[in-house]
Structure 1
Amino acid sequence: MKVLVTGAAGFIGSHLCEELLLSKDVEKLIGVDFFIGPTPAGMKKDNLFQLLEHPKFEFIRNNLLTMPLDDLIAGTDVVYHLAAIPGVRSSWGYDFKHYVDHNILATQRLLEACKNKSLKKFIYASTSSIYGEKHGSVSEDQLPEPLSPYGITKLSGEHLCRVYEKYFGLPLVILRYFTVYGPRQRPDMAFHRFIRQFIKNEPVTIFGDGKQTRDFTFINDCRRATASVLINDRAVGQTINIGGKERASVLEVLDVLEEISGIKAKRIFFDQPAGEPKHTWASISKAKELLDYNPVTGLKEGLKQEYLYLLNFYRDDKK
């Protein structure tokens, strides 16, 4: 089976590629990335380090907005579309144009290239940001009400995928990720930022009162769930939440990091930014049923793994 992963050098994308290469069903894996977004190019190169040594992996550094796609898609059995500009806070203002370009227009261009091909699956990586502010556990059939321009672009991508499914028979699967964390997490994300501040003995910056809660999903659970879609025909046509084993508040996360690091951090609070919900909580009953998904990594263990990874990453004070 030939598989294409867009966004292959990113946080989730690089982990997904490693997981797919463990599968006997994958004969060839093509990874595409243009090194855009908040993750520095050097970090993305590090993410690819092990992948580039694998004989079944080929990497292409190019832009989905401009690169020729017909040859890329030819002979491909499964497409995982993870490439996007992420982040809620930076999606306001002028930078929204980049979100439209890379989250909507690039998705439409890829769908056009795939529409008349004999794909087995097209897997679109979406986000809990499409739900907006909800109360209690959120199931996939709840009305999307995104609070940010970023969430709107990802929901637009979902709608585009559904249109191509309806009129061209695209074998579509939509996965909605809930706050994925762990080694290689983007530097703009809260856990990475907190840990970097711990390591550098800087005050920890908290947006809002710190009582906001998230459904945190460890990367190893996320990657296994995502890779399992590869040969799961029951998933076709479905939208599926990928959530974690544990929910917690930001303040509770900081308590755990203080325990792991042995450092008592100074906490500085800033206003809650626009576009971020107070709470997220995924219903994962559908993932359990269709994907046999069962997240196994608790928050403390996951945070410890990310802390140790970043401790090594930032051992050079120049970073």
Structure 2
Amino acid sequence: MIIVTGSNGFIGSNLIKGLNEMGIKEIIAVDDQTNTETHRNIAHLEIEEFFEINEFLDFIKGDQILNKDIQAIFHQGACSNTMEWDVNYLYKNNLYYSKELLGLAKRLNCQFIYASSASVYGSGKEFKELKENENPINLYAYSKFKFDQLVRKELDQEHGQIVGLRYFNVYGP
């Protein structure tokens, strides 16, 4: 079974579509439902269960999740508005939820593939994928950067099945 957060968004719904095309239908889809139109993105796709994000966070605190054979968590859910200035909202969605899901991946010993952002590099003149080039210039980028830092620390300690994808300018419905 695979967990996809941000399931109703552009990336999450296309990820589920791709998994379905590979014959994978044992999917737990998770999204926040604040945009009531995005359910259309997954209405035609095959999933096993759907959870609203807060319901899912409650669910994973218990032992029922241990009864599922979870192979991977694709954490694509986040506040993606780079102009968001509510630091509490950004941290809740881009840092704290992500920490909970990383903890779940460690607990289940499964792969954790998460959405980071190229915005952590800031506005440098030249792009090189180096730690010293990271220079987040807004709160959104900083919230993504903080989780990347946490992941680096976790990788150094024990869990090697973690991948962060630094997306550049994603566009879609």
Q: Kindly state the Cα deviation for residue 83 of structure 1 after the two structures are TM-superposed.
A: 1.2
CA-to-aligned-CA distance 1:207-248 (integer Å, 9 cap, x gap)? xxxxxxxxxxxxxxxxxxxxxxxxxxxxxxxxxxxxxxxxxx
Match of 1:109 in 2: 100
Match of 1:179 in 2: 169
Q: Kindly state the Cα deviation for residue 20 of structure 1 after the two structures are TM-superposed.
A: 1.4
* Contact persistence 2:25–2:48 (CA under 8 A): no
Partner SS state of residue 107, structure 2:
coil
Q: Kindly state the Cα deviation for residue 140 of structure 1 after the two structures are TM-superposed.
A: 2.0
Query: In the TM superposition, what are the counterparts of 1:137-286 in structure 2 within 5 Å?
Result: 138-141=127-130, 143-182=133-172, 184=173
The reply on whether 1:82 has 2:85 as its aligned counterpart is no
1:149 & 1:67 partners in 2: Cα distance?
27
Residues 1:27 and 1:17: Cα distance change in structure 2 (over 3 Å): closer
* Contact persistence 1:32–1:59 (CA under 8 A): yes
Q: Which of these residues, 6, 29, 32, is aligned with residue 31 of structure 1?
A: 29
Match of 2:64 in 1: 71
Q: Kindly state the Cα deviation for residue 160 of structure 1 after the two structures are TM-superposed.
A: 1.8
Q: Kindly state the Cα deviation for residue 147 of structure 1 after the two structures are TM-superposed.
A: 0.5
Residues 1:80 and 1:66: Cα distance change in structure 2 (over 3 Å): closer
CA-to-aligned-CA distance 1:172-218 (integer Å, 9 cap, x gap)? 11111110113x1xxxxxxxxxxxxxxxxxxxxxxxxxxxxxxxxxx
Between structure 1 and structure 2, the one with the greater Rg is 1
1:82 & 1:18 partners in 2: Cα distance?
14
* Contact persistence 2:19–2:25 (CA under 8 A): no
Match of 1:270 in 2: none
Residues 1:11 and 1:101: Cα distance change in structure 2 (over 3 Å): same
1:6 & 1:66 partners in 2: Cα distance?
11
Q: Kindly state the Cα deviation for residue 107 of structure 1 after the two structures are TM-superposed.
A: 1.0
Runs of 4+ in 1 over 4 A off after TM superposition: none
Match of 1:134 in 2: 124
The reply on whether 1:20 has 2:7 as its aligned counterpart is no
Q: Structure 1-normalised TM-score?
A: 0.49
Amino acid aligned to 1:20: L
2:91 & 2:112 partners in 1: Cα distance?
21
2:64 & 2:5 partners in 1: Cα distance?
15
Which runs of no fewer than 5 residues in structure 2 stay unpaired?
none
* Contact persistence 1:21–1:29 (CA under 8 A): no
Amino acid aligned to 1:3: I
* Contact persistence 1:4–1:31 (CA under 8 A): yes
Q: Percent identity?
A: 29
Would you say how many aligned residue pairs link Structure 1 and Structure 2?
169
Which runs of no fewer than 5 residues in structure 1 stay unpaired?
185-319
